[in-house]
Chains A and B, each alone.
Chain A
Amino acid sequence: MKNLWPEKFEENSNPSAKSILEEQTELLPKITNGIVDAEVVNSDDIIENIENDFSYRFNLIGRFIKNYRFKVLSFFHDITLYPVYFNLDEEIATELGYKDNNIKIQTPESLEEFLRTVLQSERVKKVIGSIIKLSK
């Protein structure tokens, strides 16, 4: 039988949006004394107009207010990991100067910068602050 496969495969070394955000979910409880959590969950939302294999959403969670959730963004991509399509909270999108809240990120470099601006937005800070206040 003739082997038609390439000689070797290289693992895709690009960080996925999911892995970057999952790292952040580990950090948030540490900086909020365990009051505010974050999660990346698989999303089974129905999306008809974009080809995607993997879809997730990123939520902030108030553990002491019976797992209250705030949706920051959802995102999806295909098996190649990029581009990543984000559906961002509208107020965050406006704050960051985007025309609308559907944003396409093409590269790992721009992904990290994009997520940094989202997580450091006034909107996110305010929501986390409110969760902390209501958790007391």
Chain B
Amino acid sequence: MNILFWNVGKKNLESEIATIMTSTHTDILVLAEYENASSNLLRILQQRGIIEYSALSTIGCNRIKVFTNSEMKYFRPVEDADRYSIIEFHKPGNLCLLMAMVHLSSKLFWKEDDQRIEVSFFRSDIERIEKSEGHSNTIIFGDFNMNPFDPGMISAEAMHSLSCLNTAKSVHRTIKGRQHSFFYNPSWNLLGDRDGVAGTYFYKDSNYISYHWNLLDQVILRPSIADRFDKQSFRIVTEAGGINLLNANNRPALSDHLPIFFSINLINEESYEKLMA
């Protein structure tokens, strides 16, 4: 399953989105700050002869729009709030997956502590849902508006997401008698400029400490399903289908964010063996 997330910054980028999602063979496209009707993008795709995508309904979360080439019947809305949408994907022969897609509050308006507290509400929502669904096959992705090293991503009361899968596989740690479960955050691998850009969002402020490049768009997932995550596939998209998403200064050109792309294998072993036989 190929997934692309992009905060399009309220820009009309249907043509570019259509090119990028088709050239990357995206199965699930998630957009934040896409303010046009979903039919606009579907129309562009149809004009290009691509008819297999449809728009999923995120009932209560208008910040997130979801498009997919999988059948709608495999998706079930689980819970929405203003800043996130949680859906279940369950296709026969595949792992049942809880997908939480986020566009959390911005650093421009919220202090770090506020972000940490707010995301702790979200974490407890996730855990409540995992308990009621009876599994924790959970992946969370989108615009967290935090870097992987920010307290809201690291703190045990917040997302508690670690850079090391081995460590995260210990599932939880106990602090003063209370257990705090881990997430694994492969997004740490995208920090720095070894593979091109050093983040997904560029912001230079006038303070002494300014990261300039920030990795606000991330993926985190429960360690129990992390082995299904294709780390090699996970990247910040700077070019796709002949479209360059960077300007001459190597900064985001189309939206203020760059998209992220990743693959996750959801096929269950028995189904995979049958498929390969």
Contacts and interface: CB of A to CB of B under 8 A. Distances in A.
Interface in A90-136: 90-91, 101, 127, 130-131, 134
Contacts of A68: 59, 76-80
Contact of B124 (A45, A66, A101): A45
A91 B157 contact: no
A1 B62 CA distance: 64
Nearest to B118: A87
B81 A130 contact: no
| Chain B contact residues: helix, strand, loop or mixed | mixed
A45 B121 contact: yes
Interface of B: 57, 59-60, 62, 76-83, 113, 117, 120-121, 124-125, 157
| Chain A contact residues: helix, strand, loop or mixed | mixed
A62 B113 CA distance: 34
B59 A49 contact: no
Interface residues of A, number: 23
28 contacts: A44-B124, A45-B120, A45-B124, A46-B121, A46-B124, A48-B117, A60-B60, A62-B59, A65-B77, A66-B78, A68-B76, A68-B78, A68-B80, A69-B79, A70-B59, A70-B60, A70-B81, A71-B60, A71-B82, A71-B125, A89-B81, A89-B82, A90-B82, A90-B83, A91-B62, A127-B59, A130-B59, A134-B59
A131 B59 contact: yes
A47 interface: yes
A11 B80 CA distance: 38
Contacts of A60: 60
